[in-house]
Amino acid sequence: MKIEKSVNKMLLKSLFVLVLLSFTAMASAAKCTVKKWDVYNVELKGPTVGNPFADVQLSAVFKNGQKELKVPGFYDGNGKYIIRFSPDATGKWSYETKSNVAELNGKKGSVKCVKPSKSNHGPVVEDKTFYVKYADGTPCFSVGTTCYQWISQSKELQDLTMKTLASAPFNKIRMCIFPKWYIYNRTEPAMAAYANVTDTTYDFTKFNPAFWQNMEKRIVELGKLGIVADIVLFHPYDKWGFATMTKAQDDSYIRYAIARLAPYHNVWWAIANEYDFMTVPPRENHAGNKNVEDWDRFFSILQNEDPYNRFRSIHNGHVWYDHTKDWVTHASIQSSNLEKGIDLRNKYQKPVVFDECKYEGNIEKGWGALSAQQMVERFWWGAMNGCYVGHGECIKAPGDILWWGKGGELHGESPVRIAYFRRIMEALPFDEMTPLQLNKNLYELSKSGEVYMVYALKAGPIKINLDGNNDYTVESIDTWNMKSEVLKTVKPGEFSYDATSDDTLLKITVKK
């Protein structure tokens, strides 16, 4: 009897060990699995002496059959080094590290990439020259907003911004890494990208991992909401020295940003906000020490060293960058002249995004005092020109917490109407439609023989030609009150209509 009990105990113990080993193996396998377009971190322990941010070089080559990617690594503090990888193909990826430090060099491993989650459509890519789509082919209609330094605010304010975005109509947000010192933005950052020397000065040779970890957390949260983080690397509104770092410091900063942020599928690069205001000598109340050669160099670093080729742009003040250069993926424009959209498409042969066409607001600056009606009108106006448009809000709020600067809450009347705009535009074959300016007040966006959008900025006669042999349904869309009404059925050929009010929008759809 005692022998039997002893045997049973041994069997139970062996079974427990087998189950434990099984779970351990499963956990280990899970750690070595990543979904397509997600991120996988290779974490290594390494030196802490000296300045690891500057002294240690680390990268890895990832291989999947004939496909090969060189991925940069970075120092995350406390002796931890990370190589962050985002696979764009399923299957086994093997890797080997390369470093000037022996304990980080020659490390080998592999990771299995499996199919993506249903909600992850991959990064945004160019589509048919003038448009964008997701990497898996899912259509993307970009509807952006500007919220420059929300990432520099308190955790509570950042959380409120995320809560607002969760119910907002935007799928792209322009956001800075560096804090801003400007009207309604004169506060010290809660955290900054570099290590503090004093409360208001920084060591530009040492990064602050805590700041970057928080930024990564927010980028992941944005990704779950389907929002692109359009990351602004430089801007002229500075009092801390971020705008006047040395060339070596600038380049190191860009490379660190690439290593940490480029693997996230919802990242775009905006090299600067109002790049031409950072020239030497700088404009009054602006900071900067850059010239055209610097901006070109930054583009070159991103083009050559970002393994994932994320979208790249640069935003203008008064002087426009040459967006025809091959390292520019899309033209980011500051202008209220949305009627120039067709000309810009033809000139640049790239997607055109009016990232700043002034903002809905009530501040004393003209660029922040659009009515909600004007903001909404500019979205329709830009879209009818085959372009994408961005929103911003400068409505005064307690503590100078204006959305355009610090985030928080939206107070304006345009976002709900931009949501209506987005629903209508996403239901169209936008990437197959051709824009046409009929006159200075009348615009047509159409897929010939199928659907025509006609937009009259001012009241007056409308006359277009409807192709094909089938009848069409004419629908009137009230862009402000967010209502639509079917007016009538018409024959193909010449169509005439008298717009009795401004901002008249007609949707004319073929009857099949």
- Domain at 284, CATH number: 3.20.20.80
347 and 376 inside one domain: yes
Q: Rounded CA gap, 453 and 384, in Å?
A: 8
Instruction: List helix spans (H) across 398-437.
Output: 403-406, 414-426
Average pLDDT of the residues in 20-45: 71
Task: Quote the CA–CA distance of 437 and 412 in Å, as a whole number.
Answer: 30
pLDDT in tens, 383-401: 999 999 999 999 999 999 9
Which structural domain range is residue 87 located in?
A: 33-114
Residue 28 forms part of a structural domain: no
**Residue 47 banded pLDDT, cuts 50, 70, 90:** very high
The per-residue pLDDT of the chain, averaged, comes to: 94
Reported pTM: 0.93
Q: Please, what is the angle between helix 209-224 and helix 155-166, to 10°?
A: 20
| Residue 30 scores a pLDDT above 70 | no
What is the pLDDT, as a whole number, of residue 6? 52
In a domain, 8, yes or no: no
Residue 246 DSSP label: -
Select from 320, 306, 416 the least CA-distant residue to 360: 416
Instruction: Say yes or no to pLDDT of 268 above 70.
Output: yes
Q: Say if residues 370 and 390 touch (Cβ distance below 8 Å).
A: no
Residue 3 pLDDT > 80:
no
- The Cα–Cα gap between 212 and 203 comes to 15
Per-residue exposure over 395-414, b if at least 16 CB sit within 10 Å of its own CB, e if not: beeeeebbbbbbbbebebeb
CATH number for the domain harbouring residue 449: 2.60.40
User: If you average pLDDT over residues 17-42, what whole number do you get?
Assistant: 64
Q: Which burial class, exposed, middle or buried, applies to 26 when counting CB atoms under 10 A from its CB (0-12, 13-18, 19+)?
A: exposed
Is 18 within a domain?
no
Whether 6 is in a domain gets the answer no
Asked which of 397, 431, 465 is the last residue of a domain, the reply is 431
Cα–Cα distances in angstroms (integers) from residue 79 to residues 13, 196, 208, in the given order: 39, 19, 14
Same domain, 265 and 196: yes
Residues 398 and 264 in one domain: yes
Mean pLDDT over 249-256 rounds to: 98
Question: pLDDT tens across 356-380, in order?
Answer: 999 999 999 999 999 999 999 999 9
- The reply to whether 153 and 55 lie within a common domain is no
Dihedral sign of CA atoms 467, 470, 473, 474 in order? positive
Q: What is the tally of structural domains in the chain?
A: 3
Within-domain flag for 15: no
Mean pLDDT throughout 228-251? Answer: 98
Indicate if 224 and 343 belong to the same structural domain: yes
pLDDT at 18 over 70: no
Both 133 and 86 in a single domain? no
Residue bearing tokens 């900025």:
457
pLDDT of residue 512: 85
- CA dist 212 and 219 (Å) reads 10
Please check the confidence at residue 13 and state whether its pLDDT lies above 80.
no
Name the DSSP class of 444: E
Q: How far apart are CA 437 and CA 337, in angstroms?
A: 13
Is 185 inside any structural domain? Answer: yes
For residues 372 and 480, state if they share a domain. no
List the single range of 26-40, 175-189, 413-427, 439-453 with lowest mean pLDDT: 26-40
Both 409 and 272 in one domain: the answer is yes
Please check whether residues 260 and 349 belong to one and the same domain: yes
SS3 string of 105-167?
Answer: CCCEEEEEEECCCCCCCCCEEEECCCEEEECCCCECCCEEEECCCHHHCCHHHHHHHHHHHHC
Has residue 252 been placed in a domain? yes
Q: Which residues contact 182 (CB under 8 A, 6 or more apart)?
A: 237, 405
In degrees, rounded to 5, the angle at the alpha carbon of residue 502 between the alpha carbons of residues 477 and 479 is 30
pLDDT at 284: 79
The distance of Cα 66 from the centroid of its chain, to the nearest Å, equals 30
Q: Is residue 106 part of a domain?
A: yes
Query: Taking Cα atoms as reference points, which of 150, 140, 142 lies closest to residue 393?
Result: 150
Are residue 341 and residue 269 in the same domain, yes or no?
yes
Tell me the two tokens of residue 419: 């949501």
Which CATH number is 47's domain given? 2.60.40.10
| pLDDT tens per residue, range 277-308 | 998 777 778 999 999 999 999 999 999 999 99
Quick one: DSSP state of residue 171? S
- Domain closes at, from 87, 114, 141: 114
Residues 173, 309 share a domain: yes
Q: For the chain, what is the largest distance between any 2 Cα atoms, rounded to a whole number of angstroms?
A: 103
Is 250 found in the same domain as 354? yes
Lowest mean pLDDT among 11-15, 109-113, 475-479: 11-15
- Which of 415, 431, 447 marks a domain boundary? 431
